[in-house]
Amino acid sequence: MKKLPMRDLPHLNLPTDVHIGFVGVCNPKKSAKTTVSTIVINHFTDLGRDLSLWQQDAHGRFKAYGKSQRILLATASDVFGGDAAADLKSHEPFGEDFEDLGENPNKLIVLDCSGPGSTMIGMLFKIGRFNSMLVDASCRGLLLVPLRTTHDIAEGALSMIAELKLVMPDHFVVPVPICSEGELAGLADNHPFWKVIEAASHGVIPLPLISPSAAAGLERIDRRLTEIADPGSREALAIIGAATGYKRFEAGGVASAAGDLVASFAEAIDPMGFTVPGA
């Protein structure tokens, strides 16, 4: 595929007459999955959706949005001890959470996958009949796959997209490229990043690349992104400084990054219309 600048990446293109009841964020590689999940959670919280949060990794990044339930993946001792079904058992409460989606149209389930969890999520979706379960509840799933310009992360995204499309054919599998114009310009035409873009049958949700300092700061702040997304706000800068120890300029960088991420996600997804509460 020929190289494209950020502005020419295919825009998100989903039907506007569907209701999204589930958002999953998956990639077997380290690719900012939890950051993408946080942006999703922040956006739908602002829209008034009733969120049910699930995570596979141990972290506290969702505290500002309410309780998140941890799915414990099988340990080596589980496997060597002969409990081949340990992962299936640990995901049972997550699967049960979908049973009342049809009765609660404002409910939105969000799953933040880990790297190891992403390698098995396709199998779990298939065994649990998630494709038909969501359809029967009159809603659809939005499966987001973070994408970076690093070769192995792009390859991981490519394999993840292929698997999700296979097991969730009635739902929307969407890459989330996180990169800069400079990174895109430096990619060869045969880089797997472009293969992912080519496979994006519903377009993409592009997010800006933020600095390591801003990314580290966002991980340490126990507030909603919307609360800290204004670099001109003294209150936002004070919140960031108290949580990170950053002074004015670094704190301003965190606020700017939060604002850019929130705005970029909203710009891509809001025109779809299905994000309206109760849609």
pLDDT tens figures, 205-215: 999 999 999 99
Q: Which of 212, 179, 178, 175 is nearest to 197 (CA)?
A: 175
The candidate with the shortest Cα–Cα distance to 24, out of 170, 116, 101, 122, is 122
Q: Which residues contact 201 (CB under 8 A, 6 or more apart)?
A: 165, 173
6-210 sits in which CATH class?
A: alpha beta
Bridging pattern class, strands 140-147 and 20-25: parallel
Burial of 188 (0-12, 13-18, 19+ CB in 10 A): exposed
> What is 27-49 written as a DSSP string?
-SS-SSHHHHHHHHHHHHHHTT-
Q: pLDDT tens, 42-77?
A: 999 999 999 999 999 999 999 999 999 999 998 755
pLDDT for residue 276: 47
pLDDT of residue 13: 94
- Written as six digits, the tokens of 207 are 């997010």
Look up the pTM and report it. 0.94
Residue ranges in the chain modelled with pLDDT below 50 = 80, 276-279
Exposure of 162 in the CB half-sphere (CA atoms within 13 A): 10
Token readout for 248 is: 């004015």
CA 239 to chain centre: 25
> Looking at residue 78, what is its pLDDT?
59
Exposure class string for 114-133: b at 16+ Cβ within 10 A, else e? bbebbbbbbebbeebebbeb
Sheet-wide strand order for 68-70: 68-70, 50-55, 107-112, 20-25, 140-147, 172-179, 207-208
- pLDDT at residue number 64: 97
- Residue 182, classed as helix, strand or coil, is helix
Q: Is the CB of residue 111 less than 8 Å from the CB of residue 25?
A: yes
